[in-house]
Chain A
Amino acid sequence: MGKTSAVIRLGYVHLRVTDLEEARNHYSNTLGMEVVHEEPGKLWLKCWDEWDHHSLVLEEGGVGLVKLGYKVETDDDLATFENRAQTFGVTTGRFGAGENLKVGDGLRLTLPSEHTVELYTDIEFTGTETGSINPEAWPRNMRGVGTHWIDHALIAADDPGLVERFFQEVLDFKTAEKVVDSIEHPEVIGTWMTCGESPHDLACIKGPNNKLHHFAYHLEDWSSILRAGDIFSMDDVPIDIGPTRHGITRGTTIYFFDPSGNRNEVFAGLGYRVHQDFPTINWTVDQLAKGIFYHARELNDAFTSVFT
Chain B
Amino acid sequence: MAEVEVSPYNISVEVRAGETLLRAIVRSGYKYRYGCRRGGCGFCKVHLVLGEVGYERPIDARVLTDDEKVSGVCLSCRAVPLTNVVIELQEGDRLRGIPQSDGSSVPRRS
Residues of A within 8 A of B (CB): 16, 18-19, 62-64, 238, 240, 257-263, 301-302, 305-308
Distance A238 CA – B104 CA, assembled complex (angstroms)? 29
Interface residues of B in 54-78 (CB under 8 A from A): 57-63
Contact of B59 among A18, A64, A263, A307 (CB under 8 A): A18
Please determine whether A307 and B39 come into contact, CB atoms closer than 8 angstroms: no
Contact of B36 among A19, A62, A238 (CB under 8 A): A238
Number of B residues, CB within 8 Å of A: 17
Contact of A238 among B38, B59, B61, B62 (CB under 8 A): B38
Please determine whether A305 and B35 come into contact, CB atoms closer than 8 angstroms: yes
Contact of A63 among B33, B34, B43, B63 (CB under 8 A): B63
Please determine whether A307 and B37 come into contact, CB atoms closer than 8 angstroms: no
The A interface, classified by DSSP as helix, strand, loop or mixed, is loop
A308 / chain B contacts, CB cutoff of 8 Å: 36, 40-41
B39, closest chain A residue (CB): A261
Smallest Cβ distance from A63 to chain B, in angstroms?
4
B34 / chain A contacts, CB cutoff of 8 Å: 302
Contact with A along B35-53 (1 / 0, CB 8 A): 1111111010000000000
B37 / chain A contacts, CB cutoff of 8 Å: 238, 257, 261
Distance A262 CA – B33 CA, assembled complex (angstroms)? 17
Given contacts A260-B60, A307-B41, 15 further A-B contacts (CB under 8 A): A18-B40, A18-B60, A62-B61, A62-B62, A64-B40, A238-B36, A238-B37, A240-B36, A257-B36, A257-B40, A261-B36, A262-B36, A302-B35, A302-B43, A306-B43
B39 / chain A contacts, CB cutoff of 8 Å: 18, 63, 260-261
Interface centre among A258, A261, A305 (most CB of B within 10 A): A261
